[in-house]
Amino acid sequence: MIEHVAQPEWIDVERWLTRTVVKPGPEHERALTTAQERGMPPIEVQPTSGKLLNLLVKISGARRVLEIGTLAGFSSIWMAQALPEDGHLDTLEYLPEHAAVARENLASAGLSEKVTVHVGPALDSLPGLTGSYDLVFIDADKQNNSRYLEWAVRLGRPGTVVVLDNTVWEGALLDTSRDAANAPSIVESLELLGGPLFDATVIQTTGSKGWDGFALAIVK
């Protein structure tokens, strides 16, 4: 696993933007706090990214959202809050203990009826879902990114928005030997995004998670 290093000024700017522009609510803070208290890894998206997902749901007019990688439900809350009254989010979490925390956080945010947490390996859960989803957010094990993207196409439609997190990985996409476990799979997923199935771009980011980025695409 590659080490993600954040410069102090990146963190300061991120905190300023979060406080001044994003303004997370108590439900978002609770999700972060409970994750820390339960000993979960601090790998949730930044609040700025959570708000971006929220806005993408609104901008796209999404009614059905698929999330691969739930953790404590931080990003789930952001996206579910942007859904219309009849909207729904399916989120897939590998570990039962993480899913339990996510359900608690979603219930506290008043979003239980809008979100279904599916437990188990995502590749086992995905065949049981039916499309079409309007937006797919992928933030799970990097080794299966390409397979998740293929499922985004199967469960989506032309115009489905796809967001793939962790696409720069401290620049390891240029030298995959720096993280032989994850970087080759990230490169493979980016090559898939650059192929005929998607219309995509990648945005580099810096912040508390170090130097990274995300891909934003639509299914062709």
Instruction: Give the sign of the dihedral formed by CA 163, CA 215, CA 217, CA 128.
Output: negative
Tell me what pLDDT residue 1 has.
76
Consecutive sets of 10 residues in the chain, 220 residues long: mean pLDDT of each? 90 97 97 92 93 98 98 97 97 97 97 98 97 95 97 98 97 94 97 98 96 98
Q: What is the DSSP letter of 88?
A: E
Q: Looking at 48-197, which runs of residues are DSSP E strands? A: 64-68, 88-93, 115-119, 135-138, 161-165
pLDDT of residue 131: 78
* Amino acid 42: pLDDT: 84
The answer to whether the beta carbons of residues 95 and 70 sit under 8 Å apart is no
Place of tokens 């980011």: 205
Cβ proximity of 181 and 195 under 8 Å: no
User: What domains can be seen in the chain, in order of their start residue?
Assistant: 8-219 (3.40.50.150)
pLDDT of residue 185: 97
Q: For residues 48 and 218, give the distance between their C-alpha atoms in angstroms, rounded to a whole number.
A: 21
Q: Determine the pLDDT at residue 193.
A: 98
Distance separating alpha carbons of residues 122 and 214, to the nearest angstrom: 20
